[in-house]
């Protein structure tokens, strides 16, 4: 970059001077990528700038993410490649430039919010870089999200060297495992690696003399004498295979064999999943405030995980019933849900339960009403302490793995995992930081409503303490060439007057792994599987869509012959349901071709307790009135149960309809997978996970929510082509089905999750993956930053603290 700029300033000095002055003359202190690029294109179209179009400056401006301007200075952040950043400062009048540090860039940015700073004023800089200098890191951006593959490759050779020097950590690891007082894998008879290798040879010889189907009970007494305990397999065939993998590893560790061996070790019997906010239940909760895809995700997740855990435990020859606890908040004012019940069995499982623990106030009193996810921070530390007691009592001991969900669940998982010394997994689902423009820079303006200071601090702590992080897509971590990833935004940011992050989350860290979920195969299946269809619901579905006497609806579909354009989501700004209705209202062509069915939120604002949802409800009514949509849009404020929703997708597919997911940003897109699994052609936002899920034009279509008119035209083109070519709808439908079956199933998800948990547990034991130094640093951040911020949420008068 330095060479390009030096050459450009030498050869095109006047043109660059004019361009920089145009940026300054816009009169804005902060310019986004779109502002910079649009102005550059306008300049290139002028006589003065025409010569710059095909120069290196075009590439530089395409990579520029943000500019901060205070004449005569112009500071630019540049992202020349995925997850690679540089910072440049221009003096516009002198036409000079310097590369600068991220800290300098952030300080200059803060001035635009804080005004001219006191040169003696000190602000905390968070820098986690020094703790990770000796830690193995990925080098190539294409490898991001495949952390466990990298770790196995990198550390296998190290393990071989250690074993050859007499290192016994692998031996000690295999002796760690017990369940219900029973020793597993290895006992104390084997003291050294050579002794273990000899025992493996004798064990294989002994097993070769038995029927491959013989059980541990037949061969176990002799194996126990050699130092082996149950856990190697249910049959002789399986036991020999597992022992063979270990023998190969001891001779020459190879990443593939190491992963296969570790995936078989019986070390995950009890699992805790944390999801404190919202209404967590199995019925009558979807559509309530802070309650949506995350609940569906976790319920589907635990069914798949329990099935995988039971299968693995059985294959290794153990008769143990695994336990999964989904821990959420107990809400006495449950609003027609089961959220006031302490324990609830999860349907479709053997021993998975929802454990609800109440929030308590400072005097120990139970908080009875729902609390927004943005305002729960003061309650989480005490909640963690209560959860620890409840979990230990319910499981009869420590869990083997803790999985956090969203910012609040991940913080609780961090605190709980540290207290219990358990492997921790983090799943963000959605990071609020990327949803709201300049949410970090203008945190004070948002503090009263959103309390981003707490949330971003909690995110930073949980991301760095987690043993491994699960994301649904690559984009969730690092975006694309032209968009920044959600996790990537935590690499460097500032909250003026509070603290400045110069090295926060490193997306090249091998803790990141992409594990995509699926849709519940029992509920969501192709419309063509006629014998599985729930046709008894069709009359009820038809009434919901067309009956004018239904409660909590607005609009009726006059022309029933038109195909239905269906959308279903929470009713908030990011989901952009109102935006989609506006596109439809503006497009006479699309209105002629299709009706719209919206299942979102409430129709009556008085029924909502959420401020943002009430705003969106009012906007929906305004749009329907303004465009006269009552005969073409059916808006249903209902909470659909999963079996009903599954059949609704298929019912709409029967009539040649389509599904629309118009979100401004979608971390993954579970409804996209559900619709595609049902065979329903899908149009989904290009911002976030759907860009990876859908192959444009083959298994669905990408739409840009920032260009509603173009999106409406694309949808209209589809329906128009379907009128002319009836096979077009079928081709897209079949493409959708093939795509999700190959990549997005809960079976694949559960298998990968269980393997990852074992591998990270192993490497944590035999190396310094736990990074205890980093944890100590983050404990200070928690104690000195997060705790006062959380107290300020409970006591608004304490907001004075935030101003220093």
Both structure tokens of 106: 């952030």
Question: What CATH number corresponds to the domain at position 226?
Answer: 1.20.120.1230
Residue 726 confidence class, pLDDT cut points 50, 70, 90: confident
CATH of the domain at 537: 3.40.50.2000
Q: Which domain covers residue 21, as residue numbers?
A: 2-122
Residues 632-651 have a mean pLDDT of 93
The pLDDT tens digits for 163-197 are 766 678 889 999 999 999 999 999 999 889 899 99
Residue 334 has pLDDT above 90, yes or no: yes
| Residue at 803 is within a domain | no
Q: Is 196 part of a structural domain of the chain?
A: yes
- Indicate the number of domains in the chain: 4
Q: Say if residue 700's pLDDT is above 80.
A: yes
pLDDT band at 135 (very low <50, low <70, confident <90, very high): confident
State the residue for tokens 């802070």: 290
On whether both 105 and 251 belong to a single domain, the answer is no
Q: Helix, strand, or coil here: 610?
A: coil
Query: Is residue 165 situated within a structural domain?
Result: yes
Last residue of a domain, one of 262, 292, 309: 262
In this structure, are 702 and 621 located in the same domain? Answer: yes
Q: Check residues 55 and 676 and name the one with the higher pLDDT.
A: 676
Q: Are 239 and 327 in a shared domain?
A: no
With respect to residue 491, please indicate whether it lies within any of the assigned structural domains: no
Mean pLDDT value of segment 669-675: 93
Identify the pLDDT of residue 778. 96
Residue 50 has pLDDT above 90, yes or no: no
- Clarify whether residues 84 and 183 are in a common domain: no
Q: How confident is the model at residue 532 (pLDDT cuts 50, 70, 90)?
A: very high
* Residues 441 and 579 occupy one common structural domain: no
Give the pLDDT mean for 500-513: 97
- pLDDT of 556 above 90: yes
Asked whether residue 142 is domain-assigned, the answer is no
Domain end: 122, 138, 172, which one?
A: 122
CA 158 to chain centre: 32
Identify the pLDDT of residue 252. 82
804 pLDDT more than 50? no
The values of phi and psi at residue 143, to 5°, are -90, -10
Does 171 lie in the same domain as 70?
no
pLDDT in tens, 256-286: 999 999 999 999 999 999 999 999 999 989 8
Query: Can you give the pLDDT at residue 445?
Result: 94
Higher pLDDT, 302 or 670: 302
Residue 679 lies in a domain: yes
Confidence tier at 801 by pLDDT (50, 70, 90): very low
pLDDT digits (tens, 9 = 90+) for 390-439: 999 999 999 999 999 999 999 999 999 999 999 999 999 989 998 889 99
Find the CATH number of the domain harbouring 26.
Answer: 3.10.450.330
Question: Which helix or strand (DSSP H or E) is residue 790 part of?
Answer: helix 787-794
Does residue 557 contact residue 632 with C-beta atoms inside 8 Å? yes
- Same-domain check for residues 183 and 111: no
- pLDDT the model gives residue 119: 61
Is 714 in the same domain as 578?
yes
145 pLDDT above the threshold of 80? yes
> Per residue, what are the HEC states of 385-440?
HHHHHHHHHHHCCCCCEEEEEHHHHHHHHHHHHHHHCCEEEEECCCCHHHCCCCCC
- What pLDDT score does 797 carry? 47
Quote the CA–CA distance of 198 and 15 in Å, as a whole number: 76
Q: Residue 195 falls within a domain, yes or no?
A: yes
Give percent of the chain above pLDDT 90: 79
- Per-chain mean pLDDT for the chain: 93
Q: Are residues 255 and 277 in the same domain?
A: no
Domain end residue (candidates: 107, 122, 137) = 122
Is it the case that residue 448 has pLDDT exceeding 80? yes
Decide if pLDDT at 382 tops 80: yes
Tell whether 737 and 760 lie within a shared domain. no
Is there a domain that residue 589 lies in?
yes
Do 437 and 540 lie in one domain? The reply is no
Tally helices (H) and strands (E) across the chain: 29, 25
Is residue 24 domain-shared with residue 47, that is, in the same domain? yes
pLDDT higher at 48 or 238 = 238
């Amino acid at each position: 970059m330095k060479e390009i700029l030096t050459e450009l300033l030498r050869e095109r000095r006047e043109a660059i001077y004019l361009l920089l002055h145009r940026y300054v003359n816009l009169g804005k202190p902060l310019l986004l990528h779109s502002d910079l690029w649009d102005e550059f294109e306008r300049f290139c179209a002028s006589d003065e700038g025409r010569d710059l179009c095909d120069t290196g400056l075009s590439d530089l401006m395409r990579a520029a993410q943000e500019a901060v301007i205070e004449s005569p200075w112009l500071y630019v952040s540049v992202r020349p490649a995925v997850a690679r950043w540089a910072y440049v400062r221009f003096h516009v009048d002198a036409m000079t430039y310097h590369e600068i540090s991220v800290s300098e860039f952030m300080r200059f940015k803060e001035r635009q919010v804080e005004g001219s700073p006191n040169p003696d004023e000190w602000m905390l800089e968070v820098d986690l870089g020094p703790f990770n200098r000796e830690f193995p890191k990925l080098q190539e951006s294409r490898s991001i999200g495949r952390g466990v593959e990298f770790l196995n490759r990198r550390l296998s050779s190290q393990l071989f060297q250690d074993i050859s020097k007499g290192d016994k950590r692998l031996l000690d690891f295999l002796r760690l495992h017990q369940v219900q007082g029973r020793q597993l894998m290895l006992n104390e008879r084997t003291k050294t690696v050579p002794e273990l290798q000899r025992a493996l040879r004798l064990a294989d010889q002994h097993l070769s003399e038995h029927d491959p189907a013989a059980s541990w009970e037949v061969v176990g007494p002799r194996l126990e004498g050699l130092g082996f305990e149950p856990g190697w397999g249910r049959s002789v065939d399986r036991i020999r295979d597992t022992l063979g993998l270990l023998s190969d590893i001891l001779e020459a560790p190879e990443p593939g064999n190491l992963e296969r061996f570790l995936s078989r070790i019986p070390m995950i019997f009890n699992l805790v999943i944390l999801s404190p906010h919202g209404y967590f239940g199995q019925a009558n909760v979807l559509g309530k405030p802070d309650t949506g895809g995350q609940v569906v995700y976790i319920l589907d997740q635990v069914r798949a995980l329990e099935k995988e855990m039971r299968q693995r435990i059985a294959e290794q020859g153990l008769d143990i019933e695994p336990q999964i606890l989904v821990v959420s908040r107990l809400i006495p004012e449950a609003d027609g849900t089961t959220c006031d019940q302490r324990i609830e069995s999860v349907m479709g499982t053997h021993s998975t339960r929802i454990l609800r623990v109440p929030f308590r106030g400072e005097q120990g009193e139970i908080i009875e009403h729902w609390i927004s996810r943005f305002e729960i921070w003061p309650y989480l530390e005490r909640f963690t302490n209560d959860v620890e007691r409840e979990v230990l009592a319910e499981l009869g001991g420590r869990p083997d793995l803790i999985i956090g969900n969203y910012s609040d669940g991940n913080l609780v998982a961090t605190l709980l995992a540290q207290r219990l010394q358990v492997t921790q997994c983090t799943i963000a689902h959605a990071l609020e930081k990327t949803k709201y423009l300049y949410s970090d820079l203008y945190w004070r303006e948002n503090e009263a409503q959103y309390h981003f200071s707490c949330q971003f601090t909690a995110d930073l702590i949980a991301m760095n303490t987690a043993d491994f992080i699960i994301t649904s897509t690559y984009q969730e971590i690092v975006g694309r060439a032209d968009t920044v990833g959600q996790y990537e935004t935590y690499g460097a940011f500032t909250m003026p007057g509070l603290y400045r992050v110069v090295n926060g989350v490193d997306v090249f860290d091998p803790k990141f792994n992409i594990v995509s979920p699926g849709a519940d195969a029992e509920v969501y299946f192709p419309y063509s599987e006629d014998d599985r269809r729930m046709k008894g619901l069709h009359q009820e579905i038809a009434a919901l869509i067309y009956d004018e006497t239904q409660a909590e609806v607005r609009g009726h579909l006059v022309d029933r012959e038109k195909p239905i354009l269906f959308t279903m989501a929470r009713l908030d700004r990011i989901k952009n349901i109102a935006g989609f209705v506006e596109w439809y209202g503006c497009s006479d062509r699309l209105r002629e071709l299709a009706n719209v069915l919206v299942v979102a939120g409430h129709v009556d604002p008085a029924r909502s307790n959420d401020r943002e949802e009430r705003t969106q409800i009012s906007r929906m009514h305004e749009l329907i009135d303004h465009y006269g949509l009552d005969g073409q849009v059916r808006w249903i404020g209902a909470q659909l149960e999963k079996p009903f929703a599954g059949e609704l997708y298929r019912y709409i597919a029967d009539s040649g309809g389509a599904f629309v997911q118009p979100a401004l940003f979608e971390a993954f897109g579970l409804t996209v997978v559900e619709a595609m699994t049902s065979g329903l052609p899908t149009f989904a936002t290009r911002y976030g996970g759907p860009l990876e899920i859908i192959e444009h034009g083959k298994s669905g279509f990408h739409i840009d929510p920032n260009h509603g008119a173009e999106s409406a035209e694309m949808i209209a083109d589809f329906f128009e082509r379907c009128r002319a070519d009836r096979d077009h709808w079928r081709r897209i439908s079949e493409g959708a089905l093939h795509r999700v079956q190959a990549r997005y199933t809960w079976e694949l998800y559960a298998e990968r999750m269980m393997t990852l948990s074992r591998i990270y547990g192993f490497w944590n034991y035999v190396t310094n993956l736990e990074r205890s130094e980093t944890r100590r640093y983050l404990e200070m951040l928690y104690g000195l930053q997060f705790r006062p911020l959380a107290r300020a949420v409970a006591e608004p008068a304490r907001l004075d603290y935030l101003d220093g």
